[in-house]
Amino acid sequence: MSFPVLPTTAFVDPFGQNRAAIEDIFQTVTQAILNHLTQAGKRAPLPQPVTTAYPAIPEQPGAIADLLAPLQTIMAESMNPAHPGYLGHMDPLPTTASILGDWVAAALNNNMLSVEMSPVLSRLEPLLMAEMAQIFGLGDRAGGLLVSGGTLANLQALTLARNVKLGCGQSGLARQPSPLILASEMAHSSIQKAAMILGLGLEGVGLVPTNANAQMQPDALETLIRAALAEGKRPFAVVATAGTTVTGNIDPLVEIHRIAQAYDLWFHVDAAYGGAIAFSPTHRHRLAGIEQADSITFNPQKWLYVTKTCASVLFRDMALLDSHFRIAAPYMNAEPRWTNLGEISVQGTRHPDVLKLWLSLQHLGKAGYAALVDGSYALTAVMVEHLRQRSDLSLATEPEMNLVCFRGCPPHLAPDRWDGWNAQAQQRLLKQAQVFLSLPRLRGHLWLKAVLLNPFTTAGHLAPLFDQLDDWLRQG
Ligand SMILES: Cc1ncc(COP(=O)(O)O)c(C=O)c1O
């Protein structure tokens, strides 16, 4: 085939005919990426994009070098999680190894749908996932899958829970009494999305009240289950959260598991964020009870610093995926020992996220990740101490991870103006102190949220933040 219209760099010639031109552009982009990453601390944590108009799709091809300028603008105006003042969300700066992994994965362009389409990586993923499941103590039959985000991980877990507990994989829900998932009022919204997708509707999630620390109240859970049963509903799963999205609190896993067992419910733990604690011998006790889970959501894209997307769903018994979910893809070769992962996943064609996860774990090791988790906790203690010293700053909950959610309560203002003060403080911190805190709504009020993930953020960055807040609190 010959395509005179195409630029010579449209593809990398598999026989190296255009190697010099490709090398040129790869090196230029490598330099641009290096400049971008090594100067991240000098750019704003959350730049305000000024470019709002982008060129339309051109009629004719162009030179690849011409793409560099717009590419650099996009890079410069993008969210900058590597900045030590970027504290607003659970989005970390990425490990070096995961950047390399994504780059190599893009070049390989394999497909996690089947073993023949990713012969190495479809073997690596189940081995690594079985090892991850052991880190959570899930036992010999355990394993898991990588999926594109925690939302899909929760969907996959609840789909299996529904099929196993209601036996409806074949016949669907038509003859089922109203099935119900229970989760705390602080659970991530992806649980509600899953209920919608699974045909339960939003009413298919019973929201369990939480205590002052945003943790599910086991008594209230039991009361809701009994009331649902009395109404003829069929509770089939309970979701505990280990690391709530706004405050990073952990539901009482041991007690929730006991109730799940008593009522024959699937026990899912959404540890999308908090699962990373399992790497820290010092802090993993906080997850006690997670080893009893039927399934766990855990996102290495968060506190394991792996480039997005990288999320996992782990199962106590992988055989259940075969018996209650698997749909064969007849257009794929069957391998005797290895599973075509697309047959047991909610996703078909899938990016090989396993490569960057495996490379990051190989590079940093368990000890490296333990140090990162422990370092985050140490910095959190410093921030909490700052807050405790100030009566006009109040904590939303007792932090259990590296999330600190607080709000200013300026004594000179009426309480109904405190939301406005906090919203203004967020903007002022961003503009005047190069600190990005997010502004979640919790219990009807606006709060300031800091996620102390970045290993380049130090106690030295926190002190000026509190000096600023003190100034503004005095001004009222
Ligand atoms: C506890 C929890 N579960 C699930 C999710 C959803 O993950 P994702 O955004 O990767 O779909 C999040 C996202 O922040 C989360 O905090």
Over residues 356-386, the pLDDT tens digits come to 999 999 999 999 999 999 999 999 999 999 9
The rounded Å distance from CA 269 to ligand 1 centre is 12
Whether residues 351 and 390 fall in one domain: no
Q: pLDDT value at position 334?
A: 82
Whether residues 74 and 123 fall in one domain: no
Residue 211 lies in a domain: yes
Name the residue of 190, 241, 347 whose CB sits within 8 Å of the most ligand 1 atoms, as the mutation to test its pocket.
Answer: 190
Q: pLDDT value at position 176?
A: 86
β-sheet with 179-184: strand ranges across: 143-147, 311-315, 295-298, 266-270, 234-241, 179-184, 205-208
The number of the ligand 1 atom at minimal distance from the alpha carbon of 90 is 14
Q: pLDDT value at position 332?
A: 83
Residue 152 lies in a domain: yes
Residue 461 lies in a domain: yes
Residue 84 lies in a domain: no
Q: pLDDT value at position 476?
A: 58
Domain enclosing residue 418, as ranges: 365-475
Name the residue of 158, 273, 403 whose CB sits within 8 Å of the most ligand 1 atoms, as the mutation to test its pocket.
Answer: 273
Whether residues 187 and 301 fall in one domain: yes
Whether residues 161 and 235 fall in one domain: yes
Whether residues 131 and 177 fall in one domain: yes
Residue 331 lies in a domain: yes
Q: Into how many domains does the chain fold? A: 3
Q: pLDDT value at position 422?
A: 98
Whether residues 204 and 122 fall in one domain: yes
Those residues of the chain that have pLDDT short of 70 are 476
Residue 133 lies in a domain: yes
Name the residue of 89, 188, 269, 346 whose CB sits within 8 Å of the most ligand 1 atoms, as the mutation to test its pocket.
Answer: 188
Residue 475, token pair as written in the block: 């001004």
**Is 299 near ligand 1, meaning CB less than 6 Å away?**
yes
Q: Closest by alpha carbon to 287, among 188, 298, 143?
A: 298
**Is 418 near ligand 1, meaning CB less than 6 Å away?**
no
8 three-state secondary structure: coil
Q: What is the CATH number of the domain that holds 136?
A: 3.40.640.10
Q: How far is CA 263 from CA 228, 235, 258, 331, 336, in A?
A: 12, 8, 9, 41, 38
Contact between residue 137 and residue 291 where contact means Cβ atoms under 8 Å apart: yes
Which protein residue has the closest C-alpha to ligand 1 atom 7?
150
Whether residues 162 and 297 fall in one domain: yes
Whether residues 416 and 344 fall in one domain: no
**Is 188 near ligand 1, meaning CB less than 6 Å away?**
yes
Q: Closest by alpha carbon to 468, among 413, 430, 441, 438?
A: 430
The number of the ligand 1 atom at minimal distance from the alpha carbon of 89 is 14
Whether residues 214 and 65 fall in one domain: no
Residue 430 lies in a domain: yes
Q: What is the CATH number of the domain that holds 382?
A: 3.90.1150.170
Which protein residue has the closest C-alpha to ligand 1 atom 6?
150
The number of the ligand 1 atom at minimal distance from the alpha carbon of 148 is 10
Which protein residue has the closest C-alpha to ligand 1 atom 5?
150
**Is 377 near ligand 1, meaning CB less than 6 Å away?**
no
Whether residues 110 and 37 fall in one domain: no
Q: pLDDT value at position 226?
A: 98
**Is 372 near ligand 1, meaning CB less than 6 Å away?**
no
